[in-house]
Amino acid sequence: MAISPKLCLLPLLCLLVSTVSATVFTLENHCSYTIWPGTLSGNGAAILGNGGFVLPPGASIQLQAPFGWSGRFWARTGCNFDSAGKGTCTTGDCGALNCIGGGVPPVSLAEFTIGADSADKDFYDVSLVDGYNVGMSIESSGGTGDCQRAGCVADLNSNCPAELQITDSGSVVACKSACAAFNTAQYCCTGDHSTPQTCSPTQYSEIFKKACPTAYSYAYDDPTSTCTCTGANYLITFCPTAF
């Protein structure tokens, strides 16, 4: 794990920079407020950034991942943690500063599967399948292939249908997925709607897709939302201002 010279957020880990890495993820906070990114690794892969950390406005942090790593990143907002790292967040909560599981929806996700070696493709996307809390984007650098930019720049909280809204002190802080709001097979792509042929976009997923064309809007939104690149590093920006 390597910390940007702008800010050493985890001093002890600044001395423990891995020399063997397939991919470097740079996380930047362009929001006007502090966020607490969470990380989740799959398939027993290395835990990046201790599972979570604080990232003030304008700060950045670098995390190094080995070949074959898979997992996700998300932003938590409105967090309060005690000296032991226990606490809660208004959105994206996992119950502690250092997450050992995923964030509570609704939450915007950056998802990755890194190739098994330097010649193998990486797969990545920004997903709104679990809802939306913060805008985010993914950009690749130094890779080969399509290497598209993925993300959601729009503020979906300001355009969230009333029945999907999560509010705090009168403000909309997150936008649920239709699956979370209504829990039906049609919206969750389960039961009789569990295949790409039987689970179509809905009026709710189409709101997400119209606002964020390169982000996953529902479970089978693959063709325009899954990105690939080989041998790249990735910049994940929270609250990007342009696309």
State the residue range of the domain holding 130. 2-155+213-238
Where does the pLDDT of residue 85 fall: very low under 50, low under 70, confident under 90, or very high at 90 and above? Answer: very high
Q: Give the per-residue SS3 of 26-41.
A: EEEECCCCCECCEEEE
Split at pLDDT 50, 70, 90, the class of 177 is very high
Which of 117-121, 179-183, 218-222 has the least mean pLDDT? 218-222
Is 177 among the domain residues?
no
Task: Say how many domains are in the chain.
Answer: 1
Number of C-beta neighbours around residue 76 at 10 A? 27
Helices (H), the chain: 11-14, 178-182, 185-188, 203-211
Contact 123, 138 (CB under 8 A): no
Query: What pLDDT is recorded for position 45?
Result: 82
Position 217 in a domain: yes
For the chain, the average pLDDT equals 90
Q: Are strands 109-113 and 80-81 parallel, antiparallel or unpaired?
A: unpaired
Determine, yes or no, domain membership for 176.
no
Domain contains 147: yes
- Domain assignment present for residue 163? The answer is no
Q: Report helix, strand or coil for 162.
A: helix
208 domain-assigned: no
pLDDT, average across residues 136-148: 96
Q: Is residue 23 part of a domain?
A: yes
Predicted TM-score (pTM) of the model is: 0.89
Three-state DSSP class for residue 78: coil
Q: Does the residue 121 lie in any domain?
A: yes
Residue 232 neighbours by CB under 8 Å, 6+ apart: 23, 122, 140, 141, 142, 143, 144, 147
Q: Which residue has the tokens 């009026």?
A: 203
pLDDT in tens, 26-82: 999 999 999 999 999 997 888 999 999 999 999 999 999 999 999 999 999 999 999
Across the range 10-26, mean pLDDT stands at 59
In the structure, what pLDDT confidence band is assigned to residue 20 with cuts at 50, 70 and 90?
Answer: low
Alpha-carbon span 113 to 226, nearest angstrom: 11
> Tell me, what CATH number does 77's domain have?
2.60.110.10
Residues 112, 127: contact at Cβ < 8 Å? no
- pLDDT at 21 > cutoff 70: no
pLDDT (mean) for 183-211: 94
